[in-house]
Every structure is written in structure tokens, then in C-alpha cells.
Structure 1
Amino acid sequence: MSHHTPPQLFLIDGYALIYRAFFAMISRPLTTSKGINTSVAWGIVNFLLRLRDKYQPDYLAWINDAGDSFRTETYAEYKSTREKLDAELQADFDQSLDHVSALLQAFRVPQIEVPGYEADDVIGTLATRAAGAGYQAVIVSGDKDFYQLIDDHIALLNPGRGGPAAVTEQWVDSTNAEERLGVPPHQVVDYLALVGDSSDNIPGVKGIGPKGAAALLAQYGDLESIIAQASTIKQKRPREALADQADNARLSRDLVTIKCDLTVEVDLAELAARDPDMEALAPLLSEYEFYTLAERLDLDAGRRTSGQQAASRGATERPVNVVADPADLPSLVDTLRAGSLVALSVQASSGAARSASLTGIGLAAPGGEVWYLPFGHGNSVGALAAPTPVANLPPLSHPECAPLADLLRDAAVPKLGHDMKFGWEILRGAGLELAGLAHDTMLESFVLDPGRRSHTLDTLILDQTGAQLRPWQDVVGKGKTQIAFAEVAVADAAEYAARRAAAALALHETFAPELERLSLTALLDEIELPLVEVLVDMEWAGIAIDQALFARLSQRYSRDLEALKKQTYQAAGREFNLNSPKQLATVLFEQGQLPVLKKTKTGPSTDADVLEQLSAMGYEVPQLILEYRELQKLLSTYVDVLPQAVNPLTGRIHTTYNQTGAATGRLSSSDPNLQNVPVRTARGGEIRRAFVAAPGHQFVVADYSQIELRLMAHLSGDELLVQAFEQGGDIHRQTAAVTFDVALDEVTPDMRTQAKTINFATIYGQGPFALGKQLGITQADAKEFIAQYFERFAGVRTYLDRQVDLARERGYVETLFGRRRYIPELKSKNFNVRSFGERTAQNSPLQGSAADLIKIAMRNIHRQLADEGLAARLILQVHDELVLEVPEAEVDRVSVLVREAMESAADLRVPIVADVGVGPNWLDAKA
């Protein structure tokens, strides 16, 4: 919105903005390290900054409600349906009001309220007065009641909101108000009188909706005319509704009408916009830990060096230097070596790191300079394509690139980037081994906020600095017009890549002090960053499969699938689409008259849970459908798909590991996912047998034994659980003996099964319902069993309860190695969400510590293999399991090395045990 000639007065509907900010983040509030909820404060500061930067108001005021208004006296039920906050949330909300009041004073925004009246009436009065005095009044609110005030001199700015029900910012004035609401401003009061407002409990006329109200007003003009001529309305429902509810309509009109004639003791000149009081604002932003916002306001100049400030601001302003002449490399390298840090953004011909080629490198330095080095740009046609001819640097392995190559492989020169695992592999493909990776801002973001949905550079830089990077699709196009990055004009590629390097540098300067303040630097430097090289080597190595065996499995499973289909038809007495839930429901519940165990909106459920229960009752068709679905999934997910994932250049499958995919810190695998290859069924085992070691090699497979239970013993300190592990032997048999208070040799197989189930149920926070279902016992029996278990292992119960209490107090729980998991769900008003938060508080330290432990083991194994000059290599990680491909001559040494590294990854109260197996394929090597 451009600045208008008349002076603009922005009138902010304060409580509306506060409520919106509070509830937008209620499921995941922003909290300080001390657990203080700062969601509202964050939202308000960002809003005020955006308002100042985008609209540059001449005059500004914040309007608050002031207790009950005349509307409550007129209609006691006014706003009575609004949900009340519980005590904890109300305390957070009240504290948020104090934060906002302090921030408004620091921003020097006048606050106005009139006792006995709502903010709407004060805003209406001031807007009308301002319009009459030659101002343009702009009401900042999402409340549609304000549409009644819109005219040539009064506009409405809906600030929008984020979250799942996101609303974009909207400017509404006399040119588009009718289009947005469906009626012109002068009819808004009567329109609202007819449709009512559920949020304020304004009754309106039941039976008349928005379209009906707009149509009636278009025909009759106003509410009184509609009521007077109600008998002539053709439609029965609105005609009868108006005859019965005319009084409600008039009451609603009175309630929605905004008063514009109050006595407001303020001179408009006193509302002139002023710059913030920086001395008052700085300590508030520090208290609320809004360091990025402080940076935007230049409040942290003392905390950052001038060079750092130049990196975050100047790097996005200075022109990009394109270096395509090898003769310019020495001076560039000298400049980079003279700095404290080199930021990289490596660009490739595709996103498949193992087969992509280097296209270019964006560079940024703390001094604010940015460069782009083209290596693989070609010529093409189209609007986004590179003009001819294109100048590229020679390959990195060429002697003329030696200064640059030496810099990149020099471990003494610290480097940073965003998702540098990908960049590392691209450089390796270009013949260069990167060294000196000191920082990765994707990992920094993950360690700081593991529950964050996205750790992409674009979203992070936007959130942290307000800057917006050029989107990928703007550079390469989309759909049929999309071109490869190598075909993009070098000038555009340079802008894209170099700005990304500068953005990573700016992010690091924001994240580094936060990591230090929260004591997370060690977790990043000692676990996550060293793991990057480990994962690079694992992805690069890949794993081989027996393609001939996969082909045979595909043929056999396809025959078995067809046989299962015919067997199911025979059992059902008819043919039908086995993949159609609707047809299956007809066969089971209409034709077969099986009991309906669960319903959905469309009818009886046929999900796996239902089919398993029906199968357990002895029904044949559900059992056959389960077998059919399992076999179909094996074919479509593994047997027919994995051979297609074999890289034609290497003959191996190269998965991608994601370090930021799970809030617990666990690694995930994709393209393809090799962490879900089944093992518990016979057919799943056949698939694992098709993963094979290279000729002259064996697989060494090592797996932590009951690591999360051992961590539970260590973290809880429960004497009996610790004692059980110290004695060795079968932990589930020992816990069964304790739980059922019998001698070890009196433990039955059924007792052991129940003990094993509750051991793991404890870790995952299962309740009586889930446990009873798993054990096939009643919920009451499961509840009694849980109580008996916790009576024996009281230290476990105390530990779990303490974790929930800590999470409520601090807002997060920690792993053994300091990894945080924030749990905003504990403050949810929804019982199920809150229960999920409690389970998360209990199991995250266990799962997260196990994830950290395997990462430490991977780091140590990788280093020791290199130190001893062994050719063995890690090629696969599946949570608590590691797979190494080992020359046959090294098998004995590597088996010992891996076991020792895994078992010494941490010092616990109980022994850490790793089981190690050897074999020519994944199945046979399983310990």
C-alpha cells in the first residue's frame, strides 16, 4: 500500500491482535530458556515492525477494551460462549498482557481505553473524528463488524494470521468492501443483525445465512423494511424465522452497531507516530530473548562485530562478483584466507548427489563480499536460459584451480554452509575432498529447535531476518518450461547461489550466540557436525543387492498374490476389488454379517486393526486380506522398487540420510528408505537376504541390545532395574521375576512375554488400553499389571513423573547428551494433545539418548577405521543397528572394533551390550 496524501491514522484493535497471536501458537508456544511464554510479545513486536516498515503511519494508537460494556447490560449472554482458559493458560495470557503493555510503552505507541465501552466503539469514535478532520483512518483488525465504518476516508487492515488456518493480510476500503462481505458498508449493521455472530454470541435470525441476508437486503433495502414486509418473502424458512425472531434481529442490530460519538479525551495530534525508545526496548527484547529482532533494530551492536553486521546486511546488498577467469582465483583465495570464515553454497546439476555434477559455488565472507564461481554452465534456449557463449572455470582438479582446491581441502580454514552434506558429496564428485567444515546452519537450527517443521534456508532466513531469498522456481522455472540449473544464465545463478552463501553466514551469526547461551554447542560440535562426514561416506558407498534374487522374488510373490486373490474370492463366495474398502466392507459386513467393530464417516471400517481383530475371531476373509495387503506392500515398496533405485554408474543403492527429520535426533532414510526393510516375517527376511556384500567381503552387523531399557535403568537409577542389568542374562525374564514376585526359574513364557511388553510399553508411554490390546487382556487387567510393575520398579515411575514435571516447568526435556525436546503440547486445552505431550516428555530423553549414542558410536567407528587404515566401511544405519561392509581379511578385527566402540560410547550405571554378527548378506549377518 503506497503512502496516501492525507495523513494516515492507524487505530489498532489491541485485544483482537493479542488473542490472535496467543491462540495462533497455543499448541506450540514460543518460550524463553526459563519457560516464559513469549508468543504474544513476539507476534506484537513483529507486527509493529512490519506496520512501521510497510505502511509508515503518520499517526498511531493502540485501543484496548476496558471491562464490561453496555452490551453486556443490554444482553447478559453477550460473548458468554467464549471458551474460558484454564488456570495455567490464563496465567500465560495475563503475563502476555503485561509484556505487550511494556513493549507498547517502549515503542511509544499511545494506549487508549474508555471504561464501559469496547475497543470497537473507541475506534469508531476516533476514526470518525479523524475522517472529519481530513485524515485517512485505518482500522487494524480482523473483526468484520468494522466493515460498517468503511467509506472514502476510513479503511480496514486485516493483519492476517499464520498457522494451519492461515489468513493473508488484507486491505479493505470503499472499492472492495462489498466484494469481500457481500453487502455495501451501509448495510453491514443490518446484515450482521440477520446472520448473527457466534463468536460474540449475537443471536441474529436462525434460518437466515449470509447469502440469504444479502439477498433480502438487496431486495428490501434495510432491516426494518424486511421485517415490515416479511409476509411477502417467498421462501418459507426466512419468512417464518423473521415472524418469530424480529426482536432478536433488532437486539442483534443494537449489539453490532458501533458507537461513534463517545467522549474520548485525546487530541489526535498526540497520536503522532514516534520512533521506539531504544533504551527501554533493548532490555525487554533481551529479557524475552528476541535476539534476531534486536538485530533488526540495531540494538545489539555491542554484541556483534562490525564485520558480522556487514555479513548479515551488506552481503545481501553488495553486487555479486562472478569469477570465471582462473587468473582471478589467487587474489580471491587470498581474500578468503584473510577472513575468519568461508561460507559456501554448492550448486549441482540435480538433487541426486551421487550422480550430479558441480555447476557452481557461491561464496561469502564476513566482510560482506560475495562471489560466484561457475563450473558447469551450458547453453540452452528459453527465457531463463544462459546467453552464449558461457565462460566457466576449468574443473576443480585442473592445475589452474589449485589455489581454490587447496583452500577447500585445507582443514585450517573454517567453512560453513547450509546442508553441507549435499555440497560435500558434489565436491567429492568433482574430485575434491572438503575439509574444515566448522558450521552447518541447518544443523544449528535443528539443535536449537528440533520440533520445527522446516529447516530450509529460505524459511529460516525469512523468519530470522525478514529477508526473502529468490525462490528456486524463479530461477529455473517450473513445469514444461523448467530448465536445469546448468542452463540458467550465469548472472541469475550467481545471484541465487551467492546470496544463499551470505544468508547462511547471517544465520550462523544469529544462531551461534543462542547455541552458546543454551549450552548446545557441544552437542553440535561433538555429535552432529562430525556425523556429516560419516553420512557422506555412507551415502557415497551405497549398498549392493542381488538383482537376480529380487527378480525371482518378484515372480514368486506375484504368483502368490494371484493365488491369494483367488483364495479370497473363494472364501468370500464372489469376486470383488480387494483394494476397495467399500467393496470389502460390503463383503464382510453386509454379505458375511461379520460384527462391525469400528465405523467411519462412510461406513464400517476395514482398517488393519479391524481386520486383525476379526482374524483373531477365526474369520477367514479378514486373514486372507491381511496376507494380501502385506504381500502387495512388499512387492510395491521393496521387491519391484528397490532394483529401480540401483545407480547405473555404481551398481549400488545410495540412500539419503536426514539428520533433521525427527525431533528425537534419530536419523531417517529416504530415496529409498532402507530403514523400514522388514525382518520379522519370513518374506521380509528374504528381502534382507537380497542385500549382499561385495565379492571378497562380508557384512558385519552390530545391534545395541535393549539400549533404551538400559538407558531407563541409568536415567531412573531404579535399583531393581539396575541390578537386573548388572546380573546379565535375560532382562525380560528377570523383570518378570521381579514384577510377579517369583523365582527366576518359576517365570513362565507368558510371564516373560508380559514383562517384555510392559518394559517397552513403559518407554513409549502406553496406557492400559494399548497394553491390554497388545497382550490380549482386559483394560482392567492391564491397568492392574501396570500398577504392579510400577510398584516393583518405583524408581521408574518417579523418573517418568519427574520428566513430565520438568517439561511443564522448563518447557522441554533433555537427553543424556543435552539435546532438547520442546513440548508445548503440555499446555494444550485438548486432553489428547496434552496426553501426547506427557508421553513425549517421558520417552524423548530415552529415544533421544539412544539416537545420540548410536551417532557417537558411528563417529568413533568411522574415525578408528581411518586411523587404523582399514578398508571396512559403514554402509547402513537402522536406528540401533549398524551394517559395515568388510574385506574378509579384516572381519575379525572390525568385529571387535565395532563392539568396543559401541559399548564404550557412553559410561552408564549398567553395561552397554552390542551384539555382532557376520555374514554374506544382511539377513544371515544379523546378530
Structure 2
Amino acid sequence: MSGFGKGCHLHLIDGSAFIFRAYHALPPLTRKSDGLPVGAVSGFVNMLQRYVEGNSGPDAATHVAVIFDYSGKSFRNEIYDQYKAHRPPAPEDLVPQFPLTRDATRAFNIACHEIEGYEADDIIATLSCQARDLGGRVTIVSSDKDLMQLIGGGVEMLDPMKNKRIGVEGVEEKFGVGPERVVDVQALAGDSVDNVPGAPGIGIKTAALLINEYGDLETLLDRAGEIKQPKRRQTLIDNREQIEVSKRLVQLDCNTPLDFSIDDLEVRDPEPEALLGFLSAMEFRTVSKRIADKMGVDSPVIPDKTPEGADPIAADAPAQVPFDADAYECVRDADALRKWVAAAYEVGYVAFDTETTGLNEMVVDLVGVSLSSVAGQACYVPLGHKSSAADDLFGGDALAEGQMDMNEALEILKPMLEDESILKIGQNIKYDAKILARYGVNVAPIDDTMLMSYALNAGLHGHGMDALSEQYLSHNPIEIKSLLGTGKSAITFDRVPVDDAVKYAAEDADITLRLWQLFKPQLHQKKVTTVYETLERPLVPVLARMEMAGVKVDRDTLSRMSNAFAQKMAGLEDEIKQLAGRDFNVGSPKQLGEILFDDLGLPGGKKGKNGAYSTGADILEDLATEHEMPRKVLDWRQLSKLKSTYTDALQNHINADTGRVHTSYLQTGASTGRLASTDPNLQNIPIRSEEGRRIREAFVAEQGKTIVALDYSQIELRILAHVAGIDALKQAFRDGQDIHAMTASEMFDVPMDQMTSDIRRQAKAINFGVIYGISGFGLARNLRIPRAEAQGFIDRYFERFPGIRTYMDETVAFAKEHGYVETLFGRKIHTPEIGAKGPQAGFAKRAAINAPIQGTAADIIRRAMIRMDHAISELPAKMLLQVHDELLFEVDQGAEDDLIAVARDVMENASDPAVKLDVKLSVDAGTGANWAEAH
């Protein structure tokens, strides 16, 4: 009698999915001693370890197995010889790692199985059916849609990529039918990946429609002659045999002959000797130490076996050097610090990090510096920690004992941090460089691991240190909140005891060095060295200088605007309440929903889980195309946001010492290369409304100076004309025509001399909308016209400029094939969602279409900013802000024309010589006492 039954829970892990995920997620890694590829094995081990550690609670497994695909053909190839024929062979460096993943599974004392002639899915199906029949639960750990036919009756799936459980409802959402009919839908729709033919021209949606109407595939095929649509009817009649073969291909075999039983899969704890022996043989130092510590045993000693003549950066295998927080050194005197400086000179580079009392680089104090030049070896130099007595009533700001004098430490560090022969490596090094600049240290030259990751992986994941450490080093760093606490009781870093600070701060330098050792060779391997070296790294000092210069903001102007906005909002509130026919709180979405959809009976009302109507901007914009009240509410909301986000909040960002606002630019804020701006965000000041434009009046020039704004004219349309090869647009730009009027003339057959501002406005909205892949819905909202009319405009646009549609189709096809798109300067923007289904698919396609255009524009302005620094160095001028396509300067009165001539030349020729555009770039310039006048 079987021991498995009610109360038991079987976990079935799709081993092949784990392997490929590990292979593609991590950088290449080779074993030091013999160069054997082990990157996928390393990732696979980490995934298994996380699984074992997380196997607790109500969903814990009592039985578990990792199921693999047997290499070679399966019985399905006998049914259809072209099954999986299009699949490319496994990457060359992955092949030797397959057997090692089986060894890894056994080392964790987890059952692993594969059967010749059958696929992993068939073994999973058989075990799932057996476990269900015995009354137990099953969780299939996989994201493979083919396994969804098994769900129900105690069987569910867990998508490990999204950490999302999939039950019967999830299947219905994916396929439009229940699990028992998934194979019928798949048989009709086919599968291009596995080369399952299906019925030509029938996709998942149509297949689900047909199966729901006729009940099952056999009935549908028997009654195919009744189908009204002639093409669909003929397809099913002509391809019946092919469809039936397809069903046999997608149907999983629940009777796979197994040479083991479920009872053999009982969960067993790993045995330290076997597991650590395997990890030691693989030379996985970090994970060996981590697992040994958890098991309470000694970590195995793994000898350093770097082959003679190997590249030290590649061979150092930083991911495998154990992290040991207790080994980090606290530097308390000059002699000890000089040893660390000497270590940097010995190798020619040093990873460094600063600890401060907060996040605002313009006001915080330096607390300490950490250094590392060898993976696993790092130090922390405490400089500004307060004594514990400083926390009491009379302690004041007394420094803790055992710290170097700040000036003495900086005197020793400054020559090395400024030495051209020593590379300084940081994670978001701009922050640290700005801190040290305030202490008289100019850090150069630099490398930045955050920017390296961005050049390599834009669009795939975030680029913060903790995330990079976890993903690429399999190490979870010490969390800052464990030292500082959270909420009102949080302390600043200078109040952290020095011994605790050493472990946290030195670890940051250690992690940064390891990430650099991993990423630096990859820049060349992934062909993004040029992007990093010409667009990312040289921009860091430029942005640092801009941020430290800041821009003067007049508090009185903001205060007057706040009052004016408040009065205008009050007037709009009265108008809205009159239209509503009663008093209510305009700022309450719940009350607004009741007015719009219950009282006024407007269409489109949808209630959320809380029972209240949704009144988001998209809902109101749809209604505003035909109704007055939602228009007024949108105007009121915009004023409310302007008041709270800008005219009120900007006053709090004015630096008390400089009287200026110092924003921070984030180079990795958007996958396309566009800069983001924070604390405060100056990129999002609205300019479409009169009130939004007025915010810029508060950004003023100092006495005796002028604000100069230079703005690229329609740069993205010019790039579109170039990349899509649209001759009419190119010629219009060459002739200096009004591009929006020209487009309107082409689309609406209106002569240029009869053009009205309204027709031009519509063409302008379409011109810019098309770049962003705008839909009929979106254009209707923008122009506040009915959707059908808006869609007609878009259709006509593509008829008149067919090159745009060709560009879009080719770009999406490239993204699907390669998983990324590129700017003209080689920046790769990854598109991981390009194959998604549902609403996500449309968003992913629009993003892929727009990215090369917006990204190229972003690259051009970056090139201009990098060159600008030197170009205006002889002028009495400073570059202050970058906002999308615009650069803002402050210049001495009388030198405006000189600045404009130099800056315009730099901006208009910024793409040369790397890219020769078919359309010349054009820059508009303006001057004034404030930003609004200059723009």
C-alpha cells in the first residue's frame, strides 16, 4: 500500500526550465582549475538552495522531484517527424553543464528523474495523475503552458519567474477554456516553438471560441461543415488530419512507464558531506560557505587553481570568493590606511564607497569611506561616527573613539583618488564624487558598475547594488534598515556603532569590486563598450557639475502662483458642483464616481473591489471627449497637482545656503537612455497647459546673468524620417516647412495657404502620437474627439506615409527575434515582454517601436552634453538643466550670443561622426530673465 495519500504534497520541478533560466540570467563562468563552463550550474544550485530554504509552511512539500528532459527524440517524433525540428541546438557551453545539474540535484538529496523516449512533461503528467488519484496535492514548479492541461483536482502550478500560483481560473484566463479542453485549443492553434502545425490561421482566441461553441475538438471537426465563415470552415475541413495529429502531439501521456514510485520521492535533508563535496568540486566558494554556515559545519577549503597565464579579472571568479563580513578591516590610523592605498597602487584600481548622514549630497556630512582592491578583502575608514554618549541629553556631537581625523584621512586618500593612474570604481559613483568634491577631492578617473549593468542589461532588470549582488553574485547584502531602523525612530549612519558599520560599508566596496570584475569583460563580449565609454561614463562628471551648480528658484514667485492656483481651483470647483447639481468633495474619487455614473448616468462606470467607481485619468479622458464635467475635473486635478507637486513642494527644495534647487539626475532611470530627475523631478513640469508653463517663471537668473534655453526642434520626428526612410518628411525638413502643417496638408488634402490652427493641431497630435505607438483610444483622448474619428486619422496617416508602418513591423520583428532593439548609436534596449499575450503585448510592441527613436534622441543629447562641457569652458556660462530635448544655461549678460553660437553648433552636430543623419538637426534658442521667457 502506498504511503503517499491525503495530507501529502508533491512538488514537481521542471528541471530544464531551471537550467535555461540559470544559463540566460547569469554571466558566463568557468571553473578556475580547468576552464569548464559552470555558470548555469552555479545559477541552478542557487535556485535549488532557495527552494530548499523556502520549503516550509502550509505549502511545503512532503515529496519532491526534479524532472529533466532526456536528450534525444521522444515518441512524438514517430507521430510527426517535424516535431521540434526548428529548435536550435543548445549553446555549446551549456551542453557539458547538463549532467552537472543532475549531479547538483542529487547532491541536495532531491530525487531527479528522466526517461528515454519521453519528455519531462509526460513524467510530470504521470506523477500528477498518480498523486491526484491517491488523494494528495501537487504543485508543478514551471511556467510551461503545456502543463496547464493537468491543473485541477488538487493539481496547481507555480510560475517561479513571477512567483504566481496558477489554478483553474489562471488556465481559463490564458486559454479561454478549462484545463480539460486546453489540448483541444492547442491542437487548433498549434505551436510554432515546438513546430506543432495546428490549423493555419487559427489562434488561441478563435480556437477557444470554437471549442466553447461545439464542446470539444472531435465534435467541432465532425460538424465543421456548419461553420458560417467560409475560410474557417474550409481550413478545418482541409486540415482535419493535421489537427488530429497536433492533438496527439500536445496531449501529455499520463501512463509513462516509471521505474520508481511516488514514495521514493519523499523529502530528505541534504547530507553535508555529499553537498559540500559537490560544491567544492565545482569550486563554488560563496555558496559553499553560505550552506556550510547554515548546516553548522566547517566550510570546505577550495584551493586557488588559476591556470598559469590566465586573465586575472576573468579568472578571479569573483562570484565564488566567499563573503566573510568578519574578515573586513576597520582602519583606525594612518599606517593602516596607507597599506590600503598601497594595495590600490599595486593593482591599479580600487572600489570605494562613502557613508553619509543622508541622501542629499549637497547638505549631508561624510561619515566614512570603504575601499577594496581584491575580492573578499575590504576595509572601512570611520571618520564621523558619534559616540553613544552623544545620544543622551548632554552628549552633543562628541565623536566616537578610535577614528581617524577627517583631514588626516583625506590628506592620505586625496592623491590616490585624484591620481590618473588609479581607476576608481563605484556603484552610482556620481553620488560619492559629489560628496568628496565638497571636501576638496576631485575623484577621477572612474568606472561605474551601475552604468555597466545599464549598458549591458537595460530593460531586463533594475541596476541597484542589492539587486545586482543577488542576481550576479548570489549574495544578499546587509540591509541598511537593519542598521538605521525605519520610520520615526530611524537613526542616521553617524549614530551606527563603528563595529556594525564596518561590516555593512566594507561589504559595499567588496560587492562593487566583484560586480566590476564580472561586468568589465562583458562590455566587450556583448558589444556595448562604445555605449558605455562614449555615452555613460563621460556623462557622470558633467551631470555632477550641473547638479552642484543648481538653478536659482524664486520663492516669492512660487508663493504667488500657489495662491493663484488655489483661487482658480475654487472657481472650477463651483462650476463642477453646478454641473453635478449638488455639493460634493471634488477631490474624493468615490463621491465623484457616484456623481458621474449614478446621478448623471454617464457610460463606462466600473466598480473596483472596494465597491467604488474607478475615476482614473483614462476613464475621465474617455468621458471628456463628449462631456463637460469630466473635462473640468481633469483641469481641476491638473491644477491641484501643479500646486502640490511644484508651487508648494519646490519651495522646500530651495537650498538654504545657495538659494538654488539642486536636482539629481539618474542615468539609468529609463531603459531608452533618457535621463530621469529626482528630488525634485524637473523633467515632468507640464508644458502643454498655460498654468504648467508658468511654473518655469520661478526659475530665474542670478543678478547680472541671463537664462538661455536651447531646444532641439522636433528631433524625434527627424530621427523617424531618417530611420523609416520617409522622403516626404525628409524633404519638408530640408525645405524648412512647418512639419505639422505639411502633414495636415498631406493627410486632409488641405492646401498649405488654407491651413487652420485646428487642423494643424490634429496633425501635430498624430505626428507625435505615432512615434509613441498611439492607439485610436489614445488619440481620441488627446484630441477629445470620438474614437472612430481618431482611428480614421491614424489609418489615413499610414496610407500617406507607408514607410512608417514598414519601420514599425520590422522593428517588432527584430525585437521578437533578438529580444532587444537598438538605437543608431548601438544602445541595446531589451524587450523581454515582446512575446507577451493580452494587453501587455500592445504595450511591449509600442515600447519596442518607440525605443530606437526616443533612445537615439537621448543618445544625441548625451553626446551634446558631454562635448558641451569643454566647448563652453572659456565662456562665462554654466549648463544648469537638461529636460528631455532642452538644455538650460546661465550666462553673464552680454555673452548670450557667444554662448548660443557655440552651444547650437555642438547640439546640431552632436551625432557626427558616429551617425550621419539624412535630416539635419535644428536647435531653437531663447533668452530671458527666467526659464519661461527663454523657452
Q: Give the alignment's TM-score, normalised by structure 2.
A: 0.71
**Offset, 1:709:** 0.6
Return the letter of the residue paired with 1:380: S
Q: 2: CA distance between counterparts of 1:53 and 1:556?
A: 57
Task: Tell me the residue number matched to 2:900.
Answer: 895
**Offset, 1:766:** 1.8
Kindly report which structure 2 residues correspond to 1:438-587, keeping only aligned pairs within 5 A, or say none.
439-479=447-487, 481-587=489-595
**Offset, 1:362:** 0.5
**Offset, 1:161:** 6.3
Task: Tell me the residue number matched to 2:863.
Answer: 856
Percent identity over the alignment is 34
Task: Tell me the residue number matched to 1:395.
Answer: 406
SS at match of 2:834: helix
Is structure 2 residue 628 aligned with structure 1 residue 659? no
Is structure 2 residue 885 aligned with structure 1 residue 885? no
Task: Tell me the residue number matched to 2:163.
Answer: 165
**C-alpha contact 1:125 1:259 (8 A) present in aligned 2:** no
Task: Tell me the residue number matched to 1:913.
Answer: 922
Is structure 2 residue 108 aligned with structure 1 residue 105? no
Distance 1:798 1:353, change over 3 A: same
Task: Tell me the residue number matched to 1:247.
Answer: none
Is structure 2 residue 879 aligned with structure 1 residue 874? yes
Kindly report which structure 2 residues correspond to 1:605-644, keeping only aligned pairs within 5 A, or say none.
605-612=614-621, 614=623, 617=626, 619=628, 621-644=629-652
Q: 2: CA distance between counterparts of 1:612 and 1:61?
A: 52
Q: 2: CA distance between counterparts of 1:474 and 1:108?
A: 38
**C-alpha contact 1:312 1:502 (8 A) present in aligned 2:** no
Task: Tell me the residue number matched to 1:47.
Answer: 44
SS at match of 2:858: helix
Task: Tell me the residue number matched to 1:216.
Answer: none
Task: Tell me the residue number matched to 2:359.
Answer: 351
Q: 1: CA distance between counterparts of 2:281 and 2:333?
A: 50
SS at match of 2:849: helix
Task: Tell me the residue number matched to 1:682.
Answer: 690
Distance 1:895 1:360, change over 3 A: same
Is structure 2 residue 436 aligned with structure 1 residue 434? no
Return the letter of the residue paired with 2:896: V
Q: 1: CA distance between counterparts of 2:839 and 2:456?
A: 26
Once the two structures are superposed, residues 816-858 of structure 1 have per-residue CA deviations (whole angstroms, 9 ceiling, x without a partner) of 1111111122222x13222222222211100111111111111
Once the two structures are superposed, residues 614-647 of structure 1 have per-residue CA deviations (whole angstroms, 9 ceiling, x without a partner) of 555464x444433332222222111111111112
Once the two structures are superposed, residues 647-667 of structure 1 have per-residue CA deviations (whole angstroms, 9 ceiling, x without a partner) of 212222111211111111111
**Offset, 1:700:** 0.6
Q: 2: CA distance between counterparts of 1:630 and 1:775?
A: 17
**Offset, 1:528:** 0.8
**C-alpha contact 1:700 1:883 (8 A) present in aligned 2:** yes
**Aligned residue pair count:** 753
Task: Tell me the residue number matched to 2:852.
Answer: 845
Kindly report which structure 2 residues correspond to 1:371-386, keeping only aligned pairs within 5 A, or say none.
371-380=379-388
**C-alpha contact 1:329 1:401 (8 A) present in aligned 2:** no
Return the letter of the residue paired with 2:606: K
Task: Tell me the residue number matched to 1:672.
Answer: 680
Q: Which runs of 5+ in 2 are unaligned?
A: 1-8, 29-37, 54-62, 72-81, 104-111, 132-137, 143-155, 166-176, 182-252, 285-301
Q: 1: CA distance between counterparts of 2:512 and 2:401?
A: 28
Correspondent of 1:789 among 794, 797, 802 = 797
Once the two structures are superposed, residues 257-295 of structure 1 have per-residue CA deviations (whole angstroms, 9 ceiling, x without a partner) of 99999699x999xx997987999999xxxxxxxxxxxxx
**Offset, 1:558:** 2.5
SS at match of 1:355: coil
Task: Tell me the residue number matched to 1:705.
Answer: 713
Once the two structures are superposed, residues 172-231 of structure 1 have per-residue CA deviations (whole angstroms, 9 ceiling, x without a partner) of xxxxxxxxxxxxxxxxxxxxxxxxxx99759xxxxxxxxxxxxxxxxxxxxxxxxxxxxx
**C-alpha contact 2:13 2:66 (8 A) present in aligned 1:** no
Q: 2: CA distance between counterparts of 1:655 and 1:164?
A: 35
Q: 2: CA distance between counterparts of 1:874 and 1:782?
A: 41
Q: 1: CA distance between counterparts of 2:399 and 2:798?
A: 75
Return the letter of the residue paired with 1:851: A
SS at match of 1:345: strand
**Offset, 1:893:** 1.3
Q: 2: CA distance between counterparts of 1:273 and 1:346?
A: 42
**Offset, 1:166:** 5.7
**Offset, 1:885:** 1.4
Distance 1:660 1:303, change over 3 A: farther
Correspondent of 1:595 among 589, 598, 602 = 602
SS at match of 2:833: helix
Once the two structures are superposed, residues 329-358 of structure 1 have per-residue CA deviations (whole angstroms, 9 ceiling, x without a partner) of 444433322222111111111111110111
Distance 1:802 1:490, change over 3 A: same
Distance 1:743 1:42, change over 3 A: farther
Q: Give the alignment's TM-score, normalised by structure 1.
A: 0.71
Larger Rg, first or second structure (1 or 2): 1
Distance 1:562 1:757, change over 3 A: closer
**C-alpha contact 1:417 1:504 (8 A) present in aligned 2:** yes
**C-alpha contact 2:390 2:398 (8 A) present in aligned 1:** no
SS at match of 1:905: coil
Which stretch has the larger CA shift, 570-579 or 371-380?
Answer: 570-579
Task: Tell me the residue number matched to 2:349.
Answer: 341
Q: 2: CA distance between counterparts of 1:112 and 1:806?
A: 36
**Offset, 1:796:** 2.5
Return the letter of the residue paired with 2:674: R
Q: 2: CA distance between counterparts of 1:370 and 1:571?
A: 68
Is structure 2 residue 423 aligned with structure 1 residue 414? yes
SS at match of 1:825: coil
**Offset, 1:104:** 3.5
**C-alpha contact 1:315 1:370 (8 A) present in aligned 2:** no
**C-alpha contact 1:918 1:924 (8 A) present in aligned 2:** yes
**C-alpha contact 2:672 2:858 (8 A) present in aligned 1:** yes
**C-alpha contact 2:375 2:514 (8 A) present in aligned 1:** no
Return the letter of the residue paired with 2:483: V
SS at match of 1:675: coil
Q: 2: CA distance between counterparts of 1:616 and 1:160?
A: 43
Return the letter of the residue paired with 2:467: T
Once the two structures are superposed, residues 26-61 of structure 1 have per-residue CA deviations (whole angstroms, 9 ceiling, x without a partner) of xx986999xxxxxxx9888633455489989xx998
SS at match of 1:898: helix
Distance 1:65 1:879, change over 3 A: closer
Task: Tell me the residue number matched to 1:177.
Answer: none
Q: 2: CA distance between counterparts of 1:784 and 1:123?
A: 52
Task: Tell me the residue number matched to 1:731.
Answer: 739
**C-alpha contact 1:658 1:669 (8 A) present in aligned 2:** yes
Q: 2: CA distance between counterparts of 1:689 and 1:583?
A: 35
Task: Tell me the residue number matched to 2:202.
Answer: none
Q: 1: CA distance between counterparts of 2:805 and 2:924?
A: 29
SS at match of 1:415: strand
Task: Tell me the residue number matched to 2:812.
Answer: 804
Return the letter of the residue paired with 1:727: D
**C-alpha contact 2:418 2:443 (8 A) present in aligned 1:** yes
**Offset, 1:729:** 2.5
**C-alpha contact 2:384 2:399 (8 A) present in aligned 1:** no
CA-based RMSD of the aligned residues comes to: 4.7
Which stretch has the larger CA shift, 912-921 or 366-375?
Answer: 366-375
